[in-house]
């Protein structure tokens, strides 16, 4: 319907096939331009065995990397148009459609075209390669920055660059020298040229608009090219057309550009000329509000509740004393959730020397131990990655959001030159309940008061219902001075009877009540220990420690479920909820232990059980 003779690819997929339309996704287009420089990588993302030929079925498919797996995305051939022309990404050849269809497939992967507005080039580069990104601030780049870029392009790494803006008003503002602020460019070449008996370092940049170019030294029509031989110009593929691509002196590049993003197809691409096979380990996890979303080290009270990953660095790099690794932390699906109001969160991580215990580290460890390494900064990018060198040993990596209580799923990738072993310090589930206290000879003064109250409420049968139990417990709790609990609920009292009733008549006799009260006193003391502000409620982030004190060691998943069930909007747990939680855990663990006759870790249930 758009053209009579459509072609999927015409004369090869090249960077001139990428011209930006009305969508603010220059970051994506810069990555696609870099993708065309590597035929093998391009062929994976854009399978070349499809066209508008005789067997055409009206669909195309593309492949993208997402959180450690390659996904096949299938789309139809309908594209947004206005007056018969493509609205978004298009090729300079009006009957070539691979680039427009690729943009549509990427939009489908992320939920919509709208979700592609604004982003970081490195994000798309990683989705095209499964590689790992590194970002450089040009003004702070190392002395061998030219060599780093040269080596990266030779290794087929994808390279993008941009100019910072100081305000939203400067976004896509054109400078007097023809460059665009806040706009994503791709680096497509780097070369040295002989000019007036001197060697000059040049870099080739492409504007995904397909027009608007640098107009300073070494631009398309600059006088410098008059002193360069035609053969040199041909080697550099120098052309004077306004196609968005231009050369500039590397020194000028460092003056005018602020950021460079490099996506290495293998993490060692910038190290040396020997291609090592790096080891990669992946961890998938979540920050859940109220249990594992503790925020950064500034928030010590909750920082320790974040997921913790143990890293064993066992072998030194060849000829080195240290172990090299890259830690890349990625927040998942934030672009897809954009339409629901989700934004990129500021994320980062800290690395600590392990104290040698295979358990989730508590608040005091982080209070008294500084980190050995950490991500450069907390930033609202999809992925934060840094390269480290540390002595062999065991370390604890803590991935976090900057602010506490922020929820997201994450993927942590560890690239190491030698074999590195990682494990989640997500504690094994274990139950170690304290032994019940041995009965004391004779009745204490407290027990005499209980018996009198119990007889008064129960009558001659010495058994109480859930309503009567509620009255008894609330009467007792009100007399304890240092407790600020609200009244226990009827549901709690029914749960107590369910836990303690051995006769099955739905009531509690005096001996059952006495046994429960001993448990209750222990639980009250634990609750008061973790009610730090003496408000009568406990922070949900302290639940892990409180339950452990009561004999229950739980993993992150169970803690997250319990917090969802028992905490309020302000992430506080009242004593009534804490009591119900412990009753449920004791009931469940009692049933499990009764049924786990053959194997202490598994049970077999029939439908009746």
User: What residues does each domain of the chain span?
Assistant: 15-129, 133-229+239-267, 278-334+345-426, 445-595
Q: Convert the pLDDT of each residue in 302-329 to its tens digit.
A: 999 999 999 998 888 777 788 888 899 9
Q: Which CATH architecture group holds 278-334+345-426?
A: Sandwich (2.60)
- Do residues 121 and 36 lie in contact, with contact meaning Cβ atoms separated by under 8 Å? no
Q: What is the pLDDT of residue 128?
A: 92
Decide which of 353 and 36 is more confident: 353
- Among residues 38, 110, 207, 556, which one is catalytic? 207
Contacts of 595 (CB under 8 A, 6+ apart): 603, 604, 605, 609
% of the chain exceeding 70 in pLDDT: 95
Q: What is the pLDDT of residue 436?
A: 63
Note if 207 is an active site residue.
yes
How high does pLDDT run on average in the chain?
Answer: 85
Three-class secondary structure of residue 366 per DSSP: helix
- Among residues 183, 256, 283, 360, which one is catalytic? 183
The fold of the 133-229+239-267 domain, in CATH, is Cathepsin B; Chain A (3.90.70)
Candidate from 257-261, 383-387, 414-418 with smallest mean pLDDT: 414-418
**pLDDT tops 70 at residue 273:** no
- Among residues 19, 26, 161, 296, which one is catalytic? 26
| 353: phi then psi, degrees, rounded to nearest 5 | -70, 135
**pLDDT tops 50 at residue 271:** no
Per-residue confidence at 270, pLDDT binned at 50, 70, 90?
very low
Q: What is the pLDDT of residue 309?
A: 93
**pLDDT tops 70 at residue 443:** no
- The CATH number corresponding to 445-595 among 3.40.50.170, 1.10.238.10, 1.10.580.10, 3.40.50.2300 equals 1.10.238.10
- E strand or H helix at 82, and its extent? strand 81-82
Q: Convert the pLDDT of each residue in 1-34 to its tens digit.
A: 788 888 888 888 877 788 888 888 888 888 888 8
Q: Convert the pLDDT of each residue in 198-247 to its tens digit.
A: 899 999 998 877 788 899 999 888 889 988 888 888 888 877 777 788 99
Residue 52 to residue 81: CA distance in whole angstroms: 19
Average pLDDT (381-396) is 90
Note if 599 is an active site residue.
no
Note if 26 is an active site residue.
yes
Residue 491 to residue 14: CA distance in whole angstroms: 69
Residue 332 to residue 82: CA distance in whole angstroms: 34
What are the structure tokens assigned to 333, written together?
Answer: 């699906």
pTM over 0.85: no
């Amino acid at each position: 319907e758009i053209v009579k003779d459509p072609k999927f690819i015409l004369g090869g997929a090249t960077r001139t096939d990428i011209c930006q339309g009305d969508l603010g996704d220059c970051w994506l287009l810069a990555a696609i331009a870099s993708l065309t420089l590597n035929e093998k990588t391009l062929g994976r993302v854009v399978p070349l065995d499809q066209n508008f030929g005789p067997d055409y079925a009206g669909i195309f498919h593309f492949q993208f990397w997402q959180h450690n797996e390659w996904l096949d995305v299938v789309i139809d051939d309908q594209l947004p148009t206005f007056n018969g022309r493509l609205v978004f990404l298009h090729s300079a050849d009006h009957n070539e459609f691979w680039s427009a269809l690729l943009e549509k497939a990427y939009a489908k992967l992320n939920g919509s075209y709208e979700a592609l507005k604004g982003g970081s080039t490195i994000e798309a580069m990683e989705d095209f390669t499964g590689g790992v990104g590194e970002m450089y601030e040009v003004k702070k780049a190392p002395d061998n920055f030219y060599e780093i870029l040269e080596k990266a392009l030779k290794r087929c790494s994808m390279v993008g660059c941009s100019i910072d803006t100081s305000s939203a008003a400067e976004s896509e503002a054109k400078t007097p020298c023809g460059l665009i602020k806040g706009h994503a460019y791709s680096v497509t070449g780097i070369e040295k040229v002989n000019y007036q008996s001197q060697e000059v370092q040049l870099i080739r940049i492409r504007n995904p608009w397909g027009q608007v170019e640098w107009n300073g030294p070494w631009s398309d029509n600059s006088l410098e090219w008059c002193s360069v031989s035609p053969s040199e110009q041909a080697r550099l593929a120098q052309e004077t057309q306004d196609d968005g691509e231009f050369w500039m002196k590397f020194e000028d590049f460092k003056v005018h550009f602020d950021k460079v993003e490099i996506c290495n197809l293998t993490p060692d691409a910038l190290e040396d000329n020997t291609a090592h096979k790096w080891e990669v380990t992946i961890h998938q996890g979540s920050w859940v509000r109220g249990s594992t979303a503790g925020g950064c080290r500034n928030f010590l009270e909750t920082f320790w509740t974040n997921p913790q990953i143990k890293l064993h660095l066992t072998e030194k790099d060849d000829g080195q004393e240290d172990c090299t690794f890259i830690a890349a932390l990625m927040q998942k699906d934030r672009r897809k959730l954009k339409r629901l109001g989700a934004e990129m969160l500021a994320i980062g991580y800290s690395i600590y020397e392990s104290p040698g215990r295979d358990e989730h580290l508590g608040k005091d460890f982080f209070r008294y131990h500084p980190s050995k390494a950490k991500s450069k900064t907390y930033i609202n990018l999809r992925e934060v990655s840094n390269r480290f060198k540390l002595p062999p040993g065991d370390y604890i990596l803590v991935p976090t959001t900057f602010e506490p209580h922020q929820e997201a799923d994450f993927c942590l990738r560890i690239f190491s030159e030698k074999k590195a072993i990682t494990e989640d310090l997500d504690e094994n589930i274990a139950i170690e309940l304290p032994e019940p206290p041995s009965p004391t000879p004779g009745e204490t003064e407290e027990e005499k008061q209980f018996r009198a109250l119990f007889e008064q409420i129960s009558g001659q049968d010495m058994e109480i219902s859930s309503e009567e139990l509620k009255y008894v417990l609330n009467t007792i709790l009100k007399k304890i001075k240092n407790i600020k609990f609200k009244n226990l609920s009827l549901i709690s009292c029914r749960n107590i009877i369910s836990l303690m009733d051995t006769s099955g008549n739905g009531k509690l006799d005096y001996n059952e009540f006495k046994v429960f009260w001993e448990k209750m006193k222990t639980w009250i003391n634990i609750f008061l220990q973790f009610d730090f502000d003496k408000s009568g409620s406990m922070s949900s982030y302290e639940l892990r420690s409180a339950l452990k004190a009561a004999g229950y060691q739980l993993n992150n998943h169970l803690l997250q479920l319990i917090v969802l069930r028992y905490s309020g909007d302000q992430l506080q747990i009242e004593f009534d909820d804490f009591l119900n939680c412990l009753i449920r855990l004791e009931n469940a663990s009692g049933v499990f232990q009764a049924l786990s006759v053959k194997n202490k870790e598994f049970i077999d249930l029939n439908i009746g059980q």
